[in-house]
Amino acid sequence: MSFDLPSAFAEFKNDFEQITAQISAKAQSAIDEANRLGGLTAETKTEVDKALAKQGELMGRLDEIEASSRELAQRVANGHRGGLGGVQTLGQLVMASAEEKIRALAKSGVHGDASLGVFNAITSAPASGGALLPERRESEIISEPQKKLVVKDLITVGETDQPLIKYFREVSRTGAAGIVPDDGVTVKPLIDKTWDSASAEVKTIAGRMEIHKHMLDDIPALRSDIDTTLTYEVNKVENAQILAGDGVGENMSGLIANATAYAQTGREPTGATMLDRLRLGILQVAAAGYVVDAQVLNIWDWAAAEMLKDSTGRYIFGNPFDGSATPRLWGRRVVDTEDMPEGDFMTGAFKVAATYYERQGIEILLSSENRDNFDKNMLTVRGEKRGVVVVKRPLALCYYTAPTP
């Protein structure tokens, strides 16, 4: 026979209530005895103490059972959504934390707005619309990511609780270490750096969409909309701002706006191609004292590079049907994106060059009080996040701008 948790719980609770009733009866007897005799006999006092101790023991066990029952129910619910203890998408986490609230909203309507905020949610699980940004774990060694890289994956990502980031930019560096005599007199070589103080204001990236009130009756459908539309679009803008934000108005000042210009035209071979210039760009960053770890190309330029063939018609970059999840060029990782202008490229030591500070992870808000939502039986779902990118070492990035045709 299988274990019936509700029945066992009910039986235990019944025992607890019986003990409580006995205590009440003994307490009344004790009061009557005290009034009659002017005090309690040792026997009565012992019986009352035992009953109280038993009640305390049962109360502790009852609390443990209730807590275990809630935990088990939550684990089972999580298992139904993504496997027991499985990874959940942002939409799943939002709905799991707010499902009771949403069902109540479906019955009574929305007055004001309801926060469905979830922070640091994993959005890289299969079928997640948040796959634009792979999950990031800082405390362990992991293999190469299996999803397409984006610019945010190349740079350092940190957190901040301030609306304004103040930092120093390394704008020049001269000199180098060297061999010196150990005579106690010779002055050691100077590695001279020039720093410039700068600041960057945290920016808000947001989007909203309209849904029908009846979608609250279909939790999976609403969850899918959050994952596949709202979260994806917010992350897409974030990635574009990190790379190409021009710093004008509410735009971030991104990597392109702060990178060091390509300055190797005089070293280019006759008939130089983008690949030749990319190699020279790598050398420019190396000459500044940094080790290049990646490059960013336009999607069309990267496709053209992949389609290069030798004189026999074979692809230079290997079998096109045996692609790598993390493509490489000159031994460095490649990110291809439509946010890079066609003909341009960037190469550099991205991890040491820039940091993206997150002030707020993705937050989802639901409200009926927006324009004529009430009349149309519609709800507004808003998603937003806050952050800013700062380039601390412009010399570690080399940006090539294609000549205007």
Residues 235-288 pLDDT 10s? 899 999 999 999 999 999 999 999 999 999 999 999 999 999 999 999 999 999
Q: What is the reported pLDDT for 29?
A: 66
Q: Greater confidence, 221 or 67? A: 221
pLDDT at 170 over 80: yes
> Topology of 151-400 in CATH?
Major capsid protein gp5 fold (3.30.2400)
The pLDDT of 69-83, averaged and rounded, is: 49
Residue 382 and residue 186: Cα distance in Å, rounded?
65
Which region among 30-44, 95-109, 208-222, 288-302 has the lowest average model confidence (pLDDT)?
A: 95-109
**Nearest of 78, 380, 386 to residue 230 by alpha carbon:** 380
Q: How confident is the model at residue 405 (pLDDT cuts 50, 70, 90)?
A: confident
Q: What's the pLDDT at 135?
A: 41
pLDDT band, very low/low/confident/very high, at 62 (cuts 50, 70, 90): low
Given the structure tokens 């060029």, which residue do they identify? 329
Residue 134 CB partners (closer than 8 Å, separation 6+): 124, 145, 146, 147, 149, 153
CB 336 within 8 A of CB 302: yes
Domain parsing of the chain, residue ranges: 5-82, 151-400
Average pLDDT over residues 286-291: 91
User: pLDDT value at position 127?
Assistant: 44
Average pLDDT over residues 392-396: 95
Share of the chain above pLDDT 90, in %: 34
| Neighbour order of strands in the sheet with 397-400 | 260-261, 397-400, 345-348, 294-298, 332-337, 328-329
Mean pLDDT: which of 95-109, 222-236, 324-338 is highest? 324-338
Task: Dig out the tokens for 192 from the structure.
Answer: 């001279």
Residue 77: which pLDDT band, with cuts at 50, 70 and 90? very low
Question: Which tokens sit at 210?
Answer: 């309209």
In whole angstroms, give the CA distance from residue 45 to residue 330.
Answer: 87
pLDDT score for 128: 40
Mean pLDDT of the residues in the chain: 76
C-alpha triplet 336, 342, 344: angle, nearest 5°: 85
Report the alpha-carbon distance of residue 86 to residue 82 in Å, rounded: 5
Query: Any idea what DSSP says for residue 325?
Result: S
Residue appearing with tokens 């412009």: 394
**What is the three-class DSSP state of 343?**
coil
pLDDT tops 50 at residue 45: yes
Say which amino acid occupies 12.
F
Q: Is 254 exposed, middle or buried (0-12, 13-18, 19+ CB in 10 A)?
A: buried
Other CB atoms closer than 10 Å to residue 232's CB: what's the count?
A: 20
Express each pLDDT in 5-36 by its tens digit: 566 666 766 776 776 666 666 666 666 666 66
pLDDT at 82 over 90: no
Q: CB of 236 within 8 A of CB of 401?
A: no
Mean pLDDT of 352-379: 85
Does this model's pTM top 0.85? My answer is no
Q: What pLDDT is stored for residue 63 in this prediction?
A: 53
pLDDT per residue as tens digits for the range 196-234: 898 999 999 999 888 877 777 777 777 777 777 888 888
> Higher pLDDT residue, 148 or 127?
148
pLDDT band at residue 134 under the 50/70/90 scheme: very low
Return the residue matching tokens 């796959």: 131
